[in-house]
Amino acid sequence: MTCVYYDHFGPAAKVLTLGNIPAPAPQQGEVTVRLAVSGVNPSDIKARAGSRPGVLKPAFPHVIPHSDGAGVIEAVGANVDPARIGERVWIWNGQWQRAFGTAATHITLPAEQAVRMPASMSFETGAILGIPGLTAAEAVFGAGDVSGQTLMISGGGGTVGFLAVQLAVWAGAKVIATCSPRDMDRVSAAGAHHVFDYRSDTLADDIITANDGAPVDRILEVEFGVNIGTNADIIKPYGTIAAYGSQIDMTPTLPFGPLLFKAATIDIILIYLLPLLERHERITRLHDAFAAGALKCPVVQVYPLADCAKAHDAVLAGQRTGAILLDCS
């Protein structure tokens, strides 16, 4: 199989190598997927760069990056229904605690990690559901149905936030979102009922006013450390702050008093660890929203597999209005 791999940390152009290695044959309970596209996420960039504290070298001699992707099952191992050969699937956790991810023409992995795609779903959409889609679904539905609730979605212009806006609106929630001025029209078009500039000096008051003077039920937070003060002000008693990121401030100081007197729950989300039962429920939500025409997954650019380093740099640069993918065909 053709793949992109690295054996040490560093800048994308210096450490990512295009090469060919034998595709692992599927063992018991596994499938081999011929990949059409691979999804590139910020976590892939951090892993390749070696930016995680205390991690000095890759966990494996050669690492094929990326956990998301979509393609067609080409072979199955023992105890996997042969009828799955030819099935169109999307991938989750492709490279989580494994050496070989989806930046390749093939991937072999446990059969449960290859999810059958709806017939009308494109490979490009499927390749966005693993990390961004499931993170959005967990952030929205982690405590159950949200119909009739008010959700405040921080970073509504990002891929996860944009998907979360659509899921929450589809599920019957009132959605208040924050984003940059550039993304306001796009987030409003996705269904958000109120959209505010995340840099507003009156943001907490703006959000409370938009919710008819009441605090919000649930907050979906992409920058936990920076925004925890505002979140403590706007969350209702027994409300939940579902945080999936804190890139700007990874060691935040919490306003414990305001959070205490709200009896607020802080729910830290790492989608890689989601138990299988809950994961299946979130997958169902994603597929149902897609079937209802309520979930659009924008793609800003698709790079050739050989240009994986350029794709990593594009994700690192930020300011995107959609996903970055690799063409693995």
Q: What is the CA radius of gyration of the chain?
A: 20
Tell me the Ramachandran region of residue 319: left when phi exceeds 0, alpha when psi lies from -120 to 50, beta otherwise. Answer: left
Separation between Cα atoms, residue 195 and residue 213, nearest integer Å:
16
Residue 55 has a pLDDT of 87
* Nearest partner of 158 among 211, 68, 223, judged by Cα: 223
DSSP string, 97-108: TSSB-SSBSEEE
> Global pTM?
0.97
Residue 56 has a pLDDT of 86
Percent above pLDDT 70 for the chain:
100
- Stretches in the chain below the pLDDT threshold 70: none
Give the tens place of pLDDT for each residue, 233-288. 999 999 999 999 999 999 999 999 999 999 999 999 999 999 999 999 999 999 99
User: Could you give the angle at which helices 203-210 and 224-234 cross, rounded to 10 degrees?
Assistant: 50
* Nearest partner of 180 among 156, 204, 210, 160, judged by Cα: 156
Residue 53 has a pLDDT of 78
Separation between Cα atoms, residue 228 and residue 259, nearest integer Å:
9
Classify each residue of 217-241 as buried b or exposed e, where b means 16 or more C-beta atoms within 10 Å of its C-beta: bbbbbbbbbbbbebbbbbbbeebbb
Structural domains of the chain, ranges and CATH numbers in brackets? 2-128+297-327 (3.90.180.10), 134-272 (3.90.180.10)
Residue 52 has a pLDDT of 81
